[in-house]
Amino acid sequence: MKIVDGLKWRYAVKRFDSTRKLTKDQIDYLKEAINFIPSSYGLQPYKVLEIESVEIREKLREAAYGQPQLTEAAHIFVFANFTDYNTDKVDAFIKLTSETNNISEENSNGYRDMLNGIISSMTPEQISTWNSKQAYIALGALLSAAAEQQIDAAAMEGFDKAKFDEILGLKEKGLTSVCIGAVGYRSPEDQNQFLKKVRKPMDQLFEKIG
Amino acid sequence: MKIVDGLKWRYAVKRFDSTRKLTKDQIDYLKEAINFIPSSYGLQPYKVLEIESVEIREKLREAAYGQPQLTEAAHIFVFANFTDYNTDKVDAFIKLTSETNNISEENSNGYRDMLNGIISSMTPEQISTWNSKQAYIALGALLSAAAEQQIDAAAMEGFDKAKFDEILGLKEKGLTSVCIGAVGYRSPEDQNQFLKKVRKPMDQLFEKIG
């Protein structure tokens, strides 16, 4: 399905059909969309956690004010940012870039210095906001790819982040949770699918300047 | 093209071929992707500006440290957030929702109160960050839809936001610039297209928990 047709078909699923699973190929496709969407400088300053355990999912549901998608969706992606995005991360990125394109690390020094300059000019709070935005680009790609494949999805950001971090042991991994993409198939019982999609008229959302 | 194939084909274009334009149908398709991608509660707390004037584009290029995409891309989308996201915006959203689904405004009061409660519990800074993230989801959809259509694109956030706001007269409109999506066709001269795409190995980007 074309993305736009898929986006018109989709809606924010509240109740998934917990008996319907996704195939490995479907999940791999969604993971590739997340992997290949761009991020600032290509840094991919996030990790994407896949939560399979029923017990953990039940705890996450509690920490997300009881939202049923956490236990009923076929697959749960939790996007998480690094709590200490520092020069080590930039070094790893430069190493990866140099290896991928056969550039000597020496020749990458200018780029490394530029990236380190950007990072050291920002407060930890600013870095966190910047990195979160990159995770939201990836969330947009996940939602687009799911729509294309007629896989249902719900994007979620209403949850207790500190509790999520605790349940998933993220602090020890230097990570903190940002947003969730739940994917699977809608339940026939989910009433939200019968509502019309609410969108601003195009001439309110867009404006030509000049 | 499937999204994932399109994402593998695309790269962050530095030099667009300024002689190649997009058709109205192509631009409308990208605008529909932006319009139909979800946002928090469906609020769409942003405006998307399309910049056509050559003179304005040249000024924007200066305010974006000379980045040539601003003048060479076929089409420029500037995502902007509202500087005062308040209960008036929620009221307008509730009105739109009620009209779309024939719900009496009275029956929407609970939802309105919930949204107003969320907004009034946040500082202006928190609202601004929250709204920016929604614009980044839409940026992710734009990049995905462009990739599907084999339209080249560059996402940009390195620009002087205060200068952009001034050049585009955004302050008077209660808006502030967030990020840019430049779309069009790559120039054969753009050397970046010959670099291999740098991405983390899948087992570094993803991690199964539980």
Percent of chain B with pLDDT over 90: 97
When pLDDT is cut at 50, 70 and 90, the band that residue B210 belongs to is: confident
Q: What top-level class would CATH report for the domain B3-91+123-205?
A: alpha beta
What phi, psi does B103 have (nearest 5°)? -105, 140
CB contact under 8 A, B140 and A137: yes
CB contact under 8 A, B57 and A205: no
Residue B105 has pLDDT above 90, yes or no: no
Q: In Å, how far from its chain's centre is CA B111?
A: 27
> Which of B2, B30, B37, B191 is the best residue to mutate to test the A interface, defined by the most A CB atoms within 10 Å of its own CB?
B37
- Helix H segments across chain B? 3-9, 24-36, 54-63, 69-72, 87-100, 109-120, 124-148, 161-167, 202-205
When pLDDT is cut at 50, 70 and 90, the band that residue A210 belongs to is: confident
Span A42-66, mean pLDDT?
98
Percent of chain A with pLDDT over 70: 100
Residues of B in contact with A40 (CB under 8 A): 157
Determine the pLDDT at residue A80. 98
Which contacts of A60-67 are long-range, i.e. CB under 8 A and separated by 24 or more positions? A60/A159, A60/A164, A60/A167, A60/A168, A62/A163, A63/A159, A63/A160, A63/A163, A63/A164, A63/A167, A64/A156, A64/A158, A64/A159, A64/A160, A64/A164, A64/A180, A65/A158, A65/A159, A65/A160, A67/A14, A67/A156, A67/A158, A67/A159
Which tens digits make up the pLDDT trace of A59-101? Answer: 999 999 999 999 999 999 999 999 999 999 999 999 999 999 9
Task: State pTM to two decimals.
Answer: 0.98
Determine the pLDDT at residue A206. 98
For chain A, how long is the longest CA-to-CA vector?
A: 60
Q: Which two tokens stand for residue B49?
A: 């500006």
Chain A 102-131, CB below 8 Å of chain B: which residues? 129
Sequential DSSP letters for A1-27: --HHHHHHH--B-SSB-TT----HHHH
Which tens digits make up the pLDDT trace of B45-95? Answer: 999 999 999 999 999 999 999 999 999 999 999 999 999 999 999 999 999
Domain boundaries, chain A: 3-85+128-205
**CATH superfamily of this structure's domain A3-85+128-205:** NADH Oxidase (3.40.109.10)
Determine the pLDDT at residue A194. 96
Q: CB count, 10 Å around CB of B158? A: 12
Place of tokens 């999805």: A153
Span B118-123, mean pLDDT?
95
Span B145-163, mean pLDDT?
98
Determine the pLDDT at residue B90. 95
Residues of A in contact with B8 (CB under 8 A): 36
Determine the pLDDT at residue A65. 97
Assess contact for A157 and A63: CB atoms under 8 A: no
When pLDDT is cut at 50, 70 and 90, the band that residue A106 belongs to is: confident
Q: ipTM score of the complex? A: 0.97
